[in-house]
Homo-oligomer: A and B are copies of this chain.
Amino acid sequence: MKHIDVCLTPDLLHLHTVENTIVVVADVFRATSCMVTAFAYGVKTIVPVATIEECQQWQERGYLAAAERNAHRVDGFELDNSPFTYMDEQIRGANVAMTTTNGTLAITKSRSAVKVLVGSFLNLDAVARFLKTEPYDVMVLCAGWKGRVNLEDTLFAGALIDRLKDSYALAEDSAIVAHRLYCDGKENLVGYMANASHIRRLQRLGIQKDITYCLQHDLYDVVPVLRGNALVAMEM
């Protein structure tokens, strides 16, 4: 039987081997939700980069560029970290470079995996269906917040486990923690998230509509996958 494991933050990645594993990176608020939305609206490629300087270099080559630090857009870049930014006709066919506080770093740290996929509640079912067709173990890499565990990415890991539980065994306790938590909260995820730290951080920024949007399940049938240094869309 295949196994599914959860790495609750990139700061615990040293405990995991990803070489024979498909990694699903989740940064629900908001990087991976943005990426999924962008591909659903026709973006051609997204290059995730770790630093603002790299993002500028791609911008100079003609890419649309998105840079976020501490939940704010960095000056000088076209796109920010709200998924609604990507619901735009000008996005269709574009190449995008993106750097965020947590999500893009988690992707670049996973390069040695068999495949690196981008997961969010928005494409949960598409990711689950794709994984079932593959022979590999799965690890969900929660992007967390500056190394810390966060509730929303843990809940995503639990949601994916819930979709896969009949065909995968849970590898370790972190997977059990994530799954139990999701089962506990799934009837009302928005309410369940109400006191989470990042929610408070985002609410101070006045973006409740982003939160509600990012917690919707199965809006899009797209699975972003890392090919070389760029994410591209697999239609499911």
Contact = CB atoms under 8 A, between A and B. Distances in A.
Nearest to A154: B177
A149 B6 CA distance: 10
Contact of A172 (B8, B148, B170): B148
Contacts of A177: 149, 151, 154, 177, 181
A172 B199 CA distance: 11
A226 to B, nearest CB: 25
Interface stretch (A9-17, A61-69, A88-96, A106-114): A9-17
B185 A180 contact: yes
B180 A198 contact: no
Looking at chain A's contact residues, the main secondary structure is helix
A123 interface: no
Copies in the complex: 2
Interface string A4-34: 0000110110110000000000000000000
A135 interface: no
Interface residues of A, number: 29
A197 interface: yes
Interface string A138-159: 0000000111111100100000
A149 to B, nearest CB: 5
A176 interface: yes
A151 B180 CA distance: 11
Interface in A164-184: 170, 172-174, 176-177, 180-181, 184
Give the 8 A-B CB pairs with smallest separation, nearest first.
Answer: A151-B173, A150-B173, A184-B184, A149-B174, A15-B147, A173-B197, A172-B197, A173-B196
Given A176-B196, A184-B184, 19 more contacts: A8-B8, A11-B12, A12-B12, A12-B149, A15-B148, A148-B172, A148-B174, A149-B173, A149-B174, A149-B177, A150-B173, A154-B173, A154-B177, A170-B195, A173-B196, A173-B197, A173-B198, A180-B184, A180-B185
18 contacts: A8-B149, A9-B12, A11-B12, A11-B15, A12-B12, A148-B173, A149-B172, A149-B173, A149-B174, A150-B173, A176-B195, A176-B197, A177-B177, A177-B181, A180-B184, A180-B185, A180-B192, A181-B181
